[in-house]
Amino acid sequence: MQYHFKIHKDGDMLWAECAEFPGCCTQANNKKDLVKNIVDALSLYLEQDVISENLVLEWDIFSKIDDLQVKINQYHASCPELKQQVKEYYRISVTYSSNALEGNTLTESETKIVLEEGITIGGKPLRDHLEAQGLSEAYDFMYTVIASQTITIEQIKQLHKLFYYRINEQQAGVYRTVKVLITGSKYPTTSPDKIDTAMVEMVARLNNLRPKLHSVEFAAQLHKEFVFIHPFIDGNGRVARLLLNLALLQADYNIVIIPPIMRAEYISSLEKAHIADRDFVIFVAQMLQETQKDYLRLS
């Protein structure tokens, strides 16, 4: 049997908690000692011998992501003008993939034509074009608040406003006043009268927790909690993915692309996160790792 341990930093210490047995936790100031302490703690908890080969540490994938990011950042440092090129490169991928996850019918090449040439694609719904234009504009705004190094309610509302005002100006950047259901989910969203309080509490709690979490885990938690509240009448998934990427960019990580082909795994891991968020955090980490690898291959 494998035992999964969630790892996070708190100052100079590494903390580990078992996903299967939340009461089993330990700490150390380096990875080697942490693994030893995990084996000892788990063996004591289970009252049987455990070997390190039975352990799955979430930190492993985070370490790989960090190593890849070092290479990307070194590459950017050697060629500063690349940052603007990277922003424009990902504009199409982010807009296409995020919209496609929600059922938008524009292909990636069609999205590029709409955004770069302003041409309407024959036979495609007007709304699909408006979603592409709006998400691209919100993407630009995302880059303007990277330096703030924090997540705010104002940023969230502005991201939604820029995405949605072409579709429904009255609802753009405004919390919903009606109940909504998430298709395929058995869990309710936050009731309209509690959204404002829930959003304020979410932002405050996560910003306070941020120094204790790996940047990828923080970004995944932000996405998850925002979607569970579902504050807007529409466009919550797209805003969640913008927030996911904003959090990563603020921490000097690469943008993450969730390909439409991964929609089933994405939705499934997010649904499971209502009970335990390990699968969703790992899913986000895996998608980021693949995006990093793709970028380095192109470089």
Domain range for 14:
3-58
The residue type at 209: L
* Alpha carbons 176 and 191: distance in angstroms, whole number: 9
73 in any annotated domain: no
- Percentage of residues in the chain with pLDDT exceeding 70? 100
Residue 156 and residue 16 share a domain: no
Residue 212 and residue 133 share a domain: yes
Contacts 24+ apart (CB under 8 A), 241-244: 241/94, 241/98, 241/101, 242/98, 242/135, 242/138, 242/139, 242/142, 242/159, 242/163, 243/151, 243/156, 243/159, 243/219, 244/219, 244/220, 244/284
pLDDT in tens, 24-75: 999 999 889 999 999 999 999 999 999 888 888 877 788 889 999 999 999 8
Query: What sign does the CA torsion over 232, 237, 240, 245 have?
Result: negative
30 in any annotated domain: yes
Residue 4 appears among annotated catalytic residues: no
What pTM, to 2 d.p., does this model score? 0.85
Residue 36 and residue 161 share a domain: no
Residue 188 and residue 45 share a domain: no
In the chain, what is the straight-line distance between the N-terminal and C-terminal CA atoms, in Å?
40
Residue 95 and residue 36 share a domain: no
Q: How many domains does the chain have?
A: 2
Residue 189 and residue 277 share a domain: yes
* Catalytic residue (one of 4, 8, 230, 274): 230
Query: What sign does the CA torsion over 231, 235, 241, 242 have?
Result: negative
Q: Which residue has the higher pLDDT, 258 or 30?
A: 258
